[in-house]
Amino acid sequence: MTTFAPKTPTPSIRHFGGQANSLSHGHSHNEWRCKHCRKLLGVFRDGQIHLRGGGGHEYLASLPVRAICRECKTLNQKSVV
């Protein structure tokens, strides 16, 4: 007979900044978001931008940087923090 552990509560969803998402629309100044749908594209840290891709891939890039939003397919570009 197989026993299962009791279901634990799901932790808060976390984004690149390491802080729990809130219902407010206030965004951190170090976040890079899609200009069309506002989806988080990356986070600025120590003069570089931290990006996460599908499949658990993570990248550190220097500016200028371009990315296509996975949600709405908009081309986004950032050249200055």
Give tens-digit pLDDT for 36-49: 999 999 999 988 99
Cα(43)–Cα(48) distance, integer angstroms? 8
Asked, for residue 73, whether it belongs to a domain, the answer is: yes
Per-residue pLDDT, 80 = 82
pTM above 0.85, yes or no: no
Cα(72)–Cα(70) distance, integer angstroms? 6
Structural domain containing residue 47: 31-78
Asked, for residue 8, whether it belongs to a domain, the answer is: no
The residue among 54 and 44 whose pLDDT is bigger is 44
Asked, for residue 24, whether it belongs to a domain, the answer is: no
- Residues with Cβ within 8 Å of 33's Cβ and at least 6 positions away in sequence, in order, are 27, 39, 40, 41
Asked, for residue 12, whether it belongs to a domain, the answer is: no
Number of domains in the chain: 1
- Which amino acid does the sequence have at 80? V
Asked, for residue 16, whether it belongs to a domain, the answer is: no
